A and B are shown apart, each in its own frame.
Chain A
Amino acid sequence: MTTESIDAVGDVHSVLAVGPTPAAPSAFSTVLTIAWRTMLKIKHVPFQLFDVVVTPIMFTLLFTYIFGGALAGTPREYIQYLLPGILVQTIVFITVYTGVGLNTDIQKGLYDRFRSLPMWQPSPLLGALLGDVFRYSLAGAIIILVGFIIGFRPAGGFMGLVWSMLLILVFSFALSWLWIIVGMLMKTPETVMTVSFVFLMPLTFASDIFVRLETMPGWLQAVVGRNPVTLLARATRGLIHGNVVMWDIWWVLISSAVITAIAVPIAMRLYYRER
Chain B
Amino acid sequence: MPNAIETRALVKSFGKTRALDGIDLTVREGTVYGLLGPNGAGKTTTIRVLATLLKPDSGQATVAGLDVVREPDAVRRKVGLTGQYASVDEDLTGIENLVLVGRLLGLSWKDARRRAAELLEAFGLSSAADRQVRTYSGGMRRRIDIGASLVTVPDILFLDEPTTGLDPRGRNQVWELVRRIAEEGTTVLLTTQYLDEADRLANRLAVIDHGRVIAEGTSAELKASVGANAMHVRVADASQADAANAAIGRVLGNGMMPGSDAQVISARLTNTAQASEVLAALTAARVDVAEFSVGTPTLDEVFLALTGKPSEEEAVERAR
Chain A interface residues toward B at CB < 8 A: 1, 3-17, 19-25, 29-30, 33-34, 36-37, 40-41, 44-45, 105, 108-110, 112-119, 123, 274-275
Contacts and interface: CB of A to CB of B under 8 A. Distances in A.
B177 A20 contact: no
B231 interface: no
Contacts of B96: 37, 40
Contact of B152 (A9, A13, A19, A36): A19
Contacts of A3: 135-137, 140
Contact of A110 (B52, B53, B88, B105): B88
Contacts of A40: 91-92, 96
A258 B150 CA distance: 43
Contacts of B124: 5, 7-10
Contacts, number: 158
Q: What band does the interface of chain B fall in when counting residues whose beta carbon is under 8 Å from A?
A: 35 or more
B211 to A, nearest CB: 16
Contacts of A25: 103-106
Given A10-B124, A20-B152, A118-B77, A30 B104 contact: yes
Given A10-B121, A113-B81, A24 B180 contact: no
B128 A16 contact: no
A1 B71 CA distance: 46
Interface stretch (B111-119, B192-200, B212-220): B111-119
Contacts of A21: 152
A74 B55 CA distance: 64
Contacts of B51: 112, 116
Given A9-B124, A10-B123, A274-B55, A19 B177 contact: no
A9 B176 contact: yes
B203 interface: no
Nearest to A22: B106
A20 B152 CA distance: 6
B100 A37 contact: yes
Given A3-B137, A25-B106, A117-B105, 6 more contacts: A7-B126, A9-B173, A44-B93, A108-B85, A113-B101, A274-B54
B271 interface: no
A20 B91 CA distance: 26
